[in-house]
Amino acid sequence: MITLSKLAKIFHTKDGDVRAVDDIDLTIDKGEIFGVIGYSGAGKSTLIRMLNMLEAPTSGEVDVAGRPMHSLSKGKLREARQEIGMIFQHFNLLWSRTVAENIAFPLEIKGVSKQDQKKRVDELIQLVGLDGRGGSYPSQLSGGQKQRVGIARALANDPKVLLCDEATSALDPKTTDSILDLLVDINAKLGLTIVLITHEMHVIRKICHRVAVMEAGKIVEQGDVLDIFRRPKQAMTKEFVKQVTEPEETEEALNHLLDREGIGHVLQLTFVGGDTQRPLITDVVRKFDVDISILQGKISQTQHGSYGSLFVSMNGESATVQQAVAYIREQEVEVEVIHGG
């Protein structure tokens, strides 16, 4: 569906050249939700804007739905952009227009008849959960409702691809989850390919099938979300995974516990998929002469299954503890010895 080849973008400034996107190769499959995560300045916003040529690449190729976006004429590019919807962090709504008029705007530009406009707008209002709000103005809506208008407007021309540029960054956590649920629903109902950029691993964890991690203009790691959670390789990726698996309060609590005498060996166990349902701790206690105390645990859901992280304290003879740790690893559960190893 989307193929990027040797894609690069260099900005020329008075302080010198800035390579915002650096020689990226990437393939995004039809119908998947693909996430690009990185901190501010990583190049992710520039990357997503090159998918619809809002930002022209310095070099490289962009192919979207069989169209070479980088080499299209202005007329052909306008035509191609009708198959690529985009939603933004700050909504970009027309404040003097009602909800229905905002959604209809792309259809007006395309020259769709008033009758067909109304039919399509009514369908989209229902799809995004804004029944009864068609006559409201943006100033009368909550942040989540505004973003729903933005999503409906982006879908007006029945695009094949939806680009989301930090679409939930301006929203509170509860509203963010409702918008993410809507995007998953749209992906399932319409078979739409969705590409989103974010700096929040919670967003990736909740809805993406695959993810690319960007740093300094490059993709440093990519893969299935569950695999990235299970075995992050790069330091940047580990930082992002830690956002979900080890919240700040967990780290503070563990640091406090490590100061206590007799804490023993502190282990982090990582479970993936069906492993999260297994009575592993019970098995270990029955097989080995060790005592285990659960310090902290969390299970999260991804699009491809569940992911669990469990912190435990294990006390016993050193050799027995090592045998127990080896047994846990034999069960294909990731083990990291945080303390006492």
pLDDT in tens, 307-336: 777 888 899 998 999 999 999 988 878 888
Q: Are 63 and 69 in contact (CB under 8 A)?
A: yes
Residue whose entry in the numeric block shows the structure tokens 């619809």: 52
Bridge partners of 68? 63
Asked if residue 203 and residue 172 are part of one domain, the reply reads: yes
**Residue-number span of the structural domain to which 278 is assigned:** 248-339
Same domain, 192 and 72: yes
Q: Which of 216, 243, 270 is the last residue of a domain?
A: 243
Residue 331: per-residue pLDDT: 84
Do 159 and 76 belong together in one domain? yes
Q: How many Å is the Cα radius of gyration of the chain? A: 24
Do 92 and 170 lie in a common domain? yes
Name the stretches of the chain with pLDDT < 70.
245-262, 273-278, 304, 341
Confidence at residue 302, expressed as pLDDT on a 0 to 100 scale: 73
pLDDT of 261 reads 55
Is residue 187 domain-shared with residue 289, that is, in the same domain? no
150 and 180, same domain (yes or no): yes
Total-model pTM? 0.81
Residues 153 and 262 in one domain: no
Position 341 scores a pLDDT of 58
Residue 315: φ, ψ to 5°: -115, 140
In sequence order, what are the beta bridge partners of 62?
A: 4
Give the pLDDT of residue 150: 96
- Same-domain status, 283 and 310: yes
- Give the domain CATH number at 23: 3.40.50.300
Give the count of beta carbons closer than 10 Å to the beta carbon of residue 269: 23
> In sequence order, what are the residues at sequence separation of 6 or more whose Cβ sits closer than 8 angstroms to the Cβ of residue 263?
257, 313, 339, 340
The C-alpha atoms of residue 57 and residue 20 are separated, in whole angstroms, by 10
CA torsion angle for 72, 75, 80, 83 (degrees, to 10)?
Answer: 170
Question: Number of folded domains in the chain?
Answer: 2
Give me the CATH number covering residue 268: 3.30.70.260
In angstroms, the CA 330 to CA 316 distance is 20
User: What pLDDT score was predicted for residue 96?
Assistant: 96
Do 68 and 213 lie in one domain? The reply is: yes
Indicate the helix (H) or strand (E) that contains 175: helix 173-190
Cα–Cα dist 150/92, whole Å: 8
